[in-house]
Amino acid sequence: MERKKTPGPCRFVRDCPASGLGAQQRAWAYLQARGHRILAAGDAREDSATKRYTTFPDVAALQEYDDHLAEFRVERSMYEVLYPELPTRLYFDIEYSVAQRDDNGFAERLSRFAELRAAFCAEVLGVAASDLTFQTSTAHGESKGEYKHSMHEVLEGFYVTNQEERRLFKECFESFLQDPPSSELAESVAFLDCERNGKTERIWDSGVYTKFRCFRMLGSCKKGSGRPLVPAKGSSPKLRDHLVGVYDERQRKGLQKIDMGTARAFLAVKAQPGSER
C-alpha cells in the first residue's frame, strides 16, 4: 500500500525586491490571505540568526507535519513566531552553560528560580503556587566546547492577551528579581547568575519576550546543534501541548486570563521615590 504523502507548507526564505517585503513579512501576508493561525520560523543556516518562515492553518496541521518529519527522523528547527496580537501562555527559557556537566548546580539554580517565580506569581499576578503546573522540555548536551543545561517551560491553565502584556510580564518579573520582597528571596536571586566568558549571565533568558519573540518547538533543535527539545518526565510527548500560542477560541476558553492590572499597579508603586526595600 502506497504511503500517503503529507504536503509540505509554503516557505518564505528570501526578501522580495519587487514588493519590498522581507521573508517574514511575506509569510505574514500569506498567513492573513489564507486565514492561517500559526506563523513558524526555522533556522536557515547554522550559526546564523537568519530564518525562513512558513505558516499552518491550525495546530492539527502543524502536529501532522511535525509527526511526518519525526517519522522519517528529519532534523527539525522550528520556532513559534509570537506575533503581537497572538494570545499566549507564559513561557520560560532557562540556560546554564558550564565547562563540565553540573547536574547538581543546575538543579539548585532551577529550584531557586522556581521559588522566586512562584512568589512573583502569587504576590504580583494573583496566581497561587498550587496552581502552577508546566509542560517542560529539555535540550541538555555539549555545545561549543561547553556543557549546556537547557530547559523550556510553558505555564498551563493561564494566558495573556498580546505582546504588550508579555512585555509587561517581563518588566515586572525583572523588577521583582531586582528588589525581592524578603531577604530569603533575595538570597535566592544570587543563584540565578553565573559567570561565563568573563561576563555575568542570568539563567532565565528574558530575550524571548522582547528581542527575538520566537520560541523553539518541542522536537526541534538549533540547526546543527544535535540537541532537540525532548519532553521531561511527566510532560506530554506531543508538540501541541508545549505550544506557547493560543491558536483557537476553544483552547482560549479553557484557560484563565491573567489580570495584568495588578502588574501595572506593581510597576507604578516601584516607580515611586523611596519604594525600594
Residue 198: what pLDDT?
A: 72
Whether pTM > 0.85 for this model: the answer is yes
* Mean pLDDT, rounded, of the chain: 91
Tens-digit pLDDT profile for residues 142-195: 988 889 999 999 999 999 999 999 999 999 999 999 999 999 999 999 999 987
Residue 62: what pLDDT?
A: 96
**Nearest-CA neighbor of 42 among 193, 166, 221, 162?**
221
Residue 277: what pLDDT?
A: 53
Q: How far apart are the first and last CA of the chain?
A: 71
**Residue with grid cell 520582597, as numbered in its chain:** 181
Residue 1: what pLDDT?
A: 41
Residue 157: what pLDDT?
A: 98
Paired with 202 in beta bridges are 193
Residue 40: what pLDDT?
A: 96
- Contact in structure between 59 and 240 (CB atoms under 8 Å): yes
Long-range CB contacts for residues 65-70, cutoff 8 Å, separation at least 24: 65/6, 65/8, 65/9, 66/217, 66/219, 66/239, 68/6, 70/219
Residue 3: what pLDDT?
A: 43
Low-confidence ranges of the chain (pLDDT < 50): 1-6
CA 206 to chain centre: 9
